[in-house]
Structure 1
Amino acid sequence: MDELQQRQQLAAYIGKLFRDSFGKGPEGVYVSFGGPIITVYVRNLMSATEQILMEQDQEETIMSIRAKLMQKLIPEIKANVEFVTGIELQEVYYDWALQNRSGMIVGIAREAFGPVLAEDYMGKEQLHDEIKSISQRAQKAPEKMNSYELNPRTIVVVRSGTLVLIEKELIRTGYEVPLKYTKRNVEKRFLHNNSHFEAILDRRVVDLFVDWDFARDKSVIVFVLNDMNNTMEMS
């Protein structure tokens, strides 16, 4: 099975999995490989119940319900990725952009799914500088940061060493869930309000996602991009 067939099979499986779990399938599921990273971008996923909750400003309730659901779905997704590609995922991150009805799953493996990614892409150094600045405002500058351009529409940034002492203590004493919700709100606000990303990358930012693995003190940021003059069209 070639890479295109693998991506199509995974997209079909995840689309059905979400349809069975949410009661409504996403409009589109787009799978990308690059080096040791796989991303799954989901568009137009929101059940009728969630839409009512959105209208009542109950986003936190939706995020809480989806977090519980993903605890069940992630092992199934990991197993299917390994079945289709032969590669085991070591880390899985996810986030939702409820206003856009979109979502992102990021998996990181020890092996490469496809060709080795180029070390550089346009605007990489400036992008890192902006993210370091945002990280420092929200918590602290990362001890280590790498980023990968999987394709012209997907950039994944992986950071480690951003947790401060008080956050580690909150995690230790059982406040991981509210801490993640709060950190996500704060950091995504900084990310969305940054006016430099599009100029740096010379592409429009269509969606932004961020998630953490507190046990590893790692996090990912995903930029979904599009050409300034074109509408969104993912392959």
Structure 2
Amino acid sequence: MRMTSDLRRQLILGAAKRCFARHGYAGTTTKSVAAAAAISEALLFKHFPSKAALYADILAEECEADPDFELLLGQEPSTATLVKLMAGMVRHFLGIADGLNDEEEQRLRLMVTSHLEDGEFARFLYTKIDDLIGAKFVQCLEGAVTSGEAVRSAAAPRDLFWFAHHTVLMAALTRLPSTPCVPYGTAASLERQLSEFILRGIGLTDAAIACYLDHELSQPPARPATAESA
């Protein structure tokens, strides 16, 4: 029986996961993935245009498979969900930068390298992040504005999401070297300061931040960070 396109795609992703896990991103080629999947490289390219696209899809699948992430995306759009989403992003990136997950740190470094080179991997990953989180962010922000807990910004909601993402990404990068580039202070204080800065930046009122952020920051992470870093 002829294999369906979706089944073939999953077969390729499974082979790619094994290759990336064994050889890392730099040591894996589309040719080696095709061989592991027992297909031609030309057939692989019919499903994924490049190694960067393949890796971005794997990271997106891992994120979708995370039960905590799935639970968050399933919550009703609200100010509380928005704060949970933003504070969770801050905690995730700072956790990577502070060495809680070596694999995620390598992915973060790959994301940075992509920006300095052709940007291909970064573009693919940003698209995946937007597909996963963008709509939820917009819905939650709209809910916060409607409830009077946020002020509508002149900036497009999607832009506000990326402003927040890039802010915490850059802050995390300053902590990657063994001696941080900027002496922000403790991780806990930086987590709070970044979360407050981002929430104010996207328009939340001080009252809303005070109402929801303390509770969110008091919650321990359910597990080490495993979602897409970019």
Same fold (TM over 0.5): no
Which one has the largest radius of gyration? 2
Which structure carries more helix by proportion? Answer: 2
Point out which structure has higher relative CO (alpha carbons under 8 A, 6+ apart).
2
> TM-score if structure 2 supplies the norm length?
0.27
Structure with more of its chain in strand, by fraction = 1
